[in-house]
Structure 1
Amino acid sequence: MQALSHGSVLPHVILSCLLISWTEQENKATMVHYGRASTIWPRTLEILDQLDLAEGLLQIGFATRDALHFRDGHRIVGGFLFATRMDKLGVFPTVTFLQIRQRRTEEHFTAALKDQGTHQHIRTRLESFTLEESAENGYPVTVQARNLDNNELFEIKTKYLIGADGAHSTVRSLAGIAFNGERTTTRWIRIDGVVKTTMPNPRCLCSIDSKSHGQILWVPLDNGVTRIGYVFSQELLEKYGGLEGVTEKVVEEEAILALQPFKLEFLAIHWFTTYGVKQAIAEKFFVQDRIFLAGDACHTHSSGAAQGLNTGIHECLNLRGLGRKSLLESYNEERKPSAQKASSYFNLNRVIDNDKTISMLISGKYPPRFQGRTEHPRYDFIVLPMSENILLCTRDILTENFLNAEGTSTIMPGERGPDVYLTCVGIATPIRLHQVLKNEGKFNIVVFAGNPLLSHAALEGLNSALAAPTSFTRTFPAERVFRFTTLTAAAGDGVTDVLGVPPFGGGCLYFDAESRAHAMYGVEVNRGAIVVFRPDGWVGCVVPLEKVDQLGNYFGHFLVPVSGTPSRP
């Protein structure tokens, strides 16, 4: 997470920004260590990998690659289906997704923050905040918080306030942001425990059709634990006298009945919950460029498609230290369509709208558009394995001129940059592109140099253009916001010997001798291209080698020039 900066560019650090999710009211040392969000999709793993956080999670989580569906004790077609175009996922997501209980994820993140010197305030509650844009000290947000251990009230002055404080967000309430949505009468049970069963492949993601308990969710978790989910119908509520009668023994007995004809035995129960399904979305995600919402604070949905944890992480990655006010305003325009519905241009996942359909199917009901059908619902629905979200700059920032200049690449701005293996210079060991493009809060400018024997003239021109006084690397603080990487569709013993010119931008060169990266990105080896990756790994811009000057226009839309250079109006 980086702080936002209005009118400046910040390095990859947390600075002058209060993230309310780090001011926890609950005592993490004593609270239950089980339950809650558990699924991390491949795209989120990619994000965490670029932050050096994925490997530790993979060590303690459970990787799932397949899904099975059962009815009447037999495997059938239906249930969880996975989105197509897995070829676009590249190298890293060979693991379909990772299952790990939220408390263990939190512990991993907290340890990583501690290593970086970031302190988490436990047992702290936000009381109020004030916003004074005219503050001379540059910290216009004043937060009043209470230490719940000693009841002391204290103040924090900050540049920005990010409310990642859940569905009942205090930040959202104090900011007066409406939270509109629908609450259904459906209630679901989730129970985590160690089990024995006669169901085939119990350490695989499974779903089971049930005439009495909706669609049963079966999820293998970390440490040999399994999560079972089922619908707790109105009939069951009446059977047990309402929610007060829903005990651990009740949810255990109903889980055993729900799984029939498979046998089920609980060796241990770690956690269970019953909850209602609600889809809601905040009227806006930010206030006056200073107050932002993220995660459940700005949108809630059921757990049916496992989107909550993932979308929250993606939102945090969208909050960047980039500069102009126009970029801050783009946060609302980027995230709200992602959470609510598909973009008319990119046709991505309808998180809220899809969740309404998915939650009805799981509950054993047909969505309104299928009313009147009499056969048993097959519960066929797609779960996108990347938790797709529209993450490109708005059209005012990313203009039509940059959507794909002259067909330079088959990758379009606004798409995720796929992973691919490269080769290190000298030692010839393989390395993944995403390992090279670490998330350090900078734009990664990747020069696909093609085969230098064929693209030599363009490479010479690029070298001269970057050295010119008018280069965008002189206009903006290059060391703080840009990092260059060069890929050649050729190999050899030395960088200059292969490339023919010094490495661009002082960055590193990697060999793509078999042209796998060039092919993945659709770059011709005789032409080359420049692909700009946003700090979050999404493609922001694609230009030909000979038109590097267009990058000045692209970055000029949202970066603030260094002192003494002309500013884009």
Structure 2
Amino acid sequence: MPAGVDTEASKVDVLIVGAGPAGLMCALALARAGVKVRIVDKRPQKVAAGQADGIQPRTTEVFKSYGLSDRLVKEGTQLHVAAFYNPSKNGGIELTDRVPDVAATDTNFPFEVTLHQGAIEAIFLDDMRDMGIEVSRPVIPTSIEVNTALVEDFGAYPCRLVLEYANSDQEEKRSEIVYAKYVVGADGAHSWVRKQIDIVMEGEQTDYVWGVVDLVPDTDLPDVRNKCAIHSNNGSCMIIPREGDKIRLYIQLDGKDVIDANGRVDKNKAGPEKILDVARKTLHPFTIKTPQSYDWWTIYIIGQRVAQRYSLYSRVFIAGDACHTHSPKAGQGMNASMQDSYNLAWKLVHVLKGTARRTLLQTYELERRQYALDLIAFDKKFAKLFSGKPYSELNLDGVSHAEFLQAFQTFGGFTSGLGVHYDQSIIINPKYQHLARNALVGQRLPPRPLLRAADCRPIDLHDLLVSDTRFKLLIFTGNTHNPSQMARVVDFASKLRAPGSFFAEFSSLEAMHSVFDIVSISSEKKETIMYNALPRILWSHWSKVLIDDIDMRGITGSGKVYQSLGIDTAGAIIVVRPDGYVAAIAPLDGVSHLTNYFAGFMKRYP
């Protein structure tokens, strides 16, 4: 080390580089699971304004699984309507249509939430602070090495990083050597980690240039508190309502006005006033006045790229913008980034705790890279439609409202995050899909209204899918009031505890509930159900026995959960991954199938 540099050394299970939404989601998930984690960031403080701001329904569901959705929804703005404006025959624009902003209905959060990135980061930071975890900043990593001889050693720390504390107030900068079992690079589109491990971004840059400005509007546009997609002969615009009466304007710009000789954006050529001037032409005949101040602004060129791979030796990973870049029009950037980390974190936990083999980590790239490729394919079409000239009598080849609306609604499941599908793998087994036809293997399990058997209290199925890194075994027992069906359930419970079952093979009875959480769901009626009549192994707690019925007043619950999920009277077992995705389905006599499933990636207990 050079003279004048103080060097320390430490060890950590996971070191996260980058404290944006992707890094913070990863740190929160790991810390909640008891993993020794550190997170560093080169920024002196968290984001103060601007940046990403849209939270889609699936991400809000994830926040709920951590107990954080109430704050998110309270602080943010809810978007329920998408308004469409197109060229009018009299010049300018006119209202063409209003539709639901979120087309999907199978969620408890049928709306988008907008809240600036700094406030979203604060939700994570406050929760982490309660666990004694703070972001180390400003810290700049200067080198990373991976000892290839140690990558398959369970107890080893093969990753060596040098961190430099970049506090300009100190004449002598302090450095630290960190040895980590795993490293996660969540350090943005220009990721240092990605470059250090020689991962290439594949894709292209478009010709579409957009300006973004956040402000409190003074305008006569009647839909300013709704999401607006505006096509005009002057260009396109999107309006996103924000917290605190603010809105965000996305304005299509003429590239020649802001692009330098090297093809890069030159912010000196345009500022928020320029963006707003273009917006006025696009919004005509509606007006918008110049505000006293602008909250935030930027200019960017839409680029659509995906990382060639997502890890090095399954020891160093990249997540979020370090993996994929795309336009922000569909509101996927921050959502995709946090979902990357959410996917990776539970897999790291099981490997670190010794309950799963390292091959599990390979499914991170398998699932999230394919998602990113699908996202880019969607983004290319959506960006082209949004940035293209609108259809008019003078432009018959332009984008029609019907074409744009069809794309908006067709891809609704994708943009909401509710329809993301993971293909078959060691953790996705669709063999018995027919036993629960509408609980799609490879997709997130939808919410459903049920009752607790013990007290008839209404509860939603998602209330039990907390993010605690455990696999949820949903035992749909059928009508347990029927003696023959109860006999099948008792036989299932007997085989579940027998030597050779996945419980016996992949967990001890003492540790069982740290790996698996069992929830029993009966179709027996509330008038006759006895929750404690079920075999004891099928209810870890009295609150984990549910019934598919309506409450005593006939107001809540549905009595149609079996029907809506496509489960018949014989019952079924649904395995839900720690991230809420349906992983496998089995019949009540299918303990051997479940054993084979878990044998594909879990470790047997000695």
Query: Structure 1 length normalisation: TM-score?
Result: 0.86
Checking the alignment, whether the CA contact within 8 Å between 1:365 and 1:377 is kept in structure 2 is no
Pairing 1:479-558 to 2, within 5 Å after superposition:
479-492=513-526, 496=530, 499-502=533-536, 504=538, 506-507=540-541, 508-513=544-549, 514-524=558-568, 526-558=569-601
Checking the alignment, whether the CA contact within 8 Å between 2:419 and 2:443 is kept in structure 1 is no
1:330 and 2:363 are equivalent in the alignment? yes
Match 2:72 to one of 48, 52, 57: 57
Cα distance in 2 for partners of 1:231, 1:264 equals: 16
Q: Deviations over 1:148-206 (max 9, x none)?
A: 11432211111000111110000000001111221123210111010121112321111
- SS of structure 2 residue aligned to 1:252: helix
Cα distance in 2 for partners of 1:238, 1:415 equals: 42
Pairing 1:309-458 to 2, within 5 Å after superposition:
309-319=334-344, 320=347, 321-322=349-350, 323-340=356-373, 350-365=374-389, 374-375=397-398, 377-378=400-401, 379-380=404-405, 381-382=407-408, 383-384=411-412, 385-387=415-417, 390=420, 392=422, 394-399=424-429, 402-404=430-432, 407-454=435-482, 455-458=485-488
Cα distance in 2 for partners of 1:17, 1:113 equals: 11
1:251 and 2:242 are equivalent in the alignment? no
Match of 2:82, as an amino acid? A
Q: 1:67 to 1:406 in 2, by over 3 A?
A: closer
- SS of structure 1 residue aligned to 2:273: helix
Q: Deviations over 1:307-354 (max 9, x none)?
A: 1111111111111223212211121111111101xxxxxxxxx21012
- SS of structure 2 residue aligned to 1:452: coil
Match of 1:58, as an amino acid? V
Pairing 1:77-156 to 2, within 5 Å after superposition:
77=97, 86-87=104-105, 89-90=106-107, 92-94=108-110, 96-135=111-150, 138-149=156-167, 150=170, 151-156=173-178
Which stretch shifts more, 69-78 or 312-321? 69-78
Q: Deviations over 1:416-462 (max 9, x none)?
A: 10001122344432221111121100101111122212422221211
Checking the alignment, whether the CA contact within 8 Å between 1:277 and 1:302 is kept in structure 2 is yes
In structure 1, the residue matched to 2:213 is 191
Q: 1:157 to 1:235 in 2, by over 3 A?
A: closer
Cα distance in 1 for partners of 2:480, 2:301 equals: 60
Match of 1:251, as an amino acid? I
What is the percent sequence identity of the aligned residues?
25
Q: 1:276 to 1:14 in 2, by over 3 A?
A: farther
Match of 1:510, as an amino acid? L
Checking the alignment, whether the CA contact within 8 Å between 1:190 and 1:273 is kept in structure 2 is yes
Q: 1:500 to 1:226 in 2, by over 3 A?
A: same
Match 1:469 to one of 465, 489, 499: 499
Pairing 1:157-176 to 2, within 5 Å after superposition:
157-176=179-198
Match 1:287 to one of 312, 334, 348: 312
Match of 2:94, as an amino acid? H
- SS of structure 1 residue aligned to 2:536: coil
Q: Which runs of 5+ in 2 are unaligned?
A: 1-12, 16-29, 87-91, 351-355, 550-557
- Higher RCO (C-alpha 8 Å, min separation 6): 1
Q: 1:138 to 1:536 in 2, by over 3 A?
A: same
- SS of structure 1 residue aligned to 2:467: coil
Q: Which runs of 5+ in 1 are unaligned?
A: 5-9, 341-349, 367-371, 564-569
1:269 and 2:262 are equivalent in the alignment? no
Checking the alignment, whether the CA contact within 8 Å between 2:257 and 2:269 is kept in structure 1 is no
Q: Deviations over 1:27-51 (max 9, x none)?
A: 226x5x2211111111111111111
Checking the alignment, whether the CA contact within 8 Å between 1:100 and 1:221 is kept in structure 2 is yes
CA shift for structure 1 position 238: 8.8
Q: 1:157 to 1:500 in 2, by over 3 A?
A: closer
Match 1:302 to one of 327, 331, 341: 327
- SS of structure 2 residue aligned to 1:449: strand
CA shift for structure 1 position 490: 2.7
Q: 1:262 to 1:405 in 2, by over 3 A?
A: closer
Q: Deviations over 1:273-312 (max 9, x none)?
A: 1111111111100110101111110111011111111111
In structure 1, the residue matched to 2:43 is 26
Q: 1:49 to 1:256 in 2, by over 3 A?
A: same
Cα distance in 1 for partners of 2:194, 2:603 equals: 30
Cα distance in 2 for partners of 1:76, 1:504 equals: 55
Match of 1:223, as an amino acid? G
Cα distance in 2 for partners of 1:365, 1:130 equals: 50
CA shift for structure 1 position 361: 2.2
Query: Structure 2 length normalisation: TM-score?
Result: 0.81
Checking the alignment, whether the CA contact within 8 Å between 2:102 and 2:112 is kept in structure 1 is no
Q: Deviations over 1:92-137 (max 9, x none)?
A: 123x211111111011111111112222112111111111143476
- SS of structure 1 residue aligned to 2:481: helix
Cα distance in 1 for partners of 2:593, 2:570 equals: 17
Superposed CA RMSD: 2.8
